[in-house]
Structure 1
Amino acid sequence: MIKPINISIYYDQLLVAEGYKAVLSGHKQFHISNLIENDVDILKKIKYNETDLLIIEFSDITKENITYINHLHKSLPSQKLLIISGSITHKFINPLIKIIDGYLLRTCSSEKLILAIHEIFEGRKYLCSQLIPILLEDNHENGFKIDLTSREREVLSLLYTTKHNSDIAEKLNISQTTVRTHLKNIRQKCGNKNEVQLMRYACNKNLLKDNCIPLCPNCRFFLQKKWALI
């Protein structure tokens, strides 16, 4: 018998959390072990080996929420995290992408919640499609130009179509040390540009080719292979 996924829900609003619990409890592959109010220190309520997935529900994402999620990630770096919120802005989604395993807006359906959990436990990350416009916001910038060498362009292309630096090294027949050097140079040339803006640049310059997931059927923007957007 397959062991069910043990889930804890850290909530802002009890009624919403109970709704998630009702949805997930209808599936044998899930077990809800805790409903935890957000004014309780979650680290005192859950033990790492007892929670396979922590769902964090917020009405809105604030700087304080971001700080807390970062603290949680540092304390439990291997803990899988799925965030659900009522809304989020461009400046907050980027810092979260690196440390969470999935993100849903409250307007997503229960089917998307189930799908997100399955994607996470199949080793991928999940973003609901409603986040696409937020991800692609220019953030008051109209793009930027980067003077990359031909090799740096190749590395940048593979950065968004492979999972590890070792894959890039193998495809280009170079060492991982050389890959890291190229990535360091690329980031230095980009200044303080975030990874989403770097991805936009790669797309606009037609650097992404095979195995890319389109963000929408009417644009040329793509997201990393390891993320699912449905």
Structure 2
Amino acid sequence: MCCGVTCCGVMCCGVTCCGVMCCGVTCLSLVQANDAGDFFPLWGTCMGFQLLTVLVAGEDLLTNTTAENIAMPLNLTAEAQSSRMFESFPPDLLRSLTQEPLTGNFHHYGVTEKVFQENARLREFFSVLSTNVAEDGSVFVSTMEGRQYPFYGVQWHPEVNRFQWNPKYHFPHSVNAVSLSALLSDFFVNEGRKSSHHFANLEDENEALIYSYNPVYIANFTGYEQAYFF
């Protein structure tokens, strides 16, 4: 039984494609579940982050905010200090997050801080925890979390710090970068532990285990090491 949902985004032809509509239905279901007292966290990375903004805003507010193959520190906002996402971070790591290039960015689109704050739906649903500056100088929202709901989004890729090694890409691999990745994954796992969902029996649980699937090596034609195909 699912205790949390992660959305890494979907490559598609527009907001009416099947992937986007499926994620939209999932997001609505999670809102309804949490409203009913069923704790159900959601995490969006990169295009998943972008998709969350489209679904909440009710329109596509994405513009060109290219930050391609670059690691950057975060410009944390005042709300980050009291956020759920960063509350367990040691002070020295939180400080390093603002000074060292710990977040890998590989995107061409995003939501500017100005547009985000001008949209009432986004502004009221999410707290902006950090911003960054794109190649063209525009300031985009890079980290957010739901005010009322356990929904989280990062425009950057925390997973690459520990698991991706292609030398063509600027994946951060410092001690602090690895700690950042580990703390965020632990955070979301702990959010999932707050869920009361469970499998009806051991047989159903075994059928859902990732160990039933074999990862495929894809580094010879992508920037990633492995992928699962279902």
Q: Common fold, TM-score beyond 0.5?
A: no
Flag the structure with higher helix content: 1
* Higher strand proportion (structure 1 or 2): 2
Higher relative contact order (CA 8 A, sep 6+): 2
For normalisation by structure 2, the TM-score amounts to 0.25
Q: Which has more radius of gyration?
A: 1
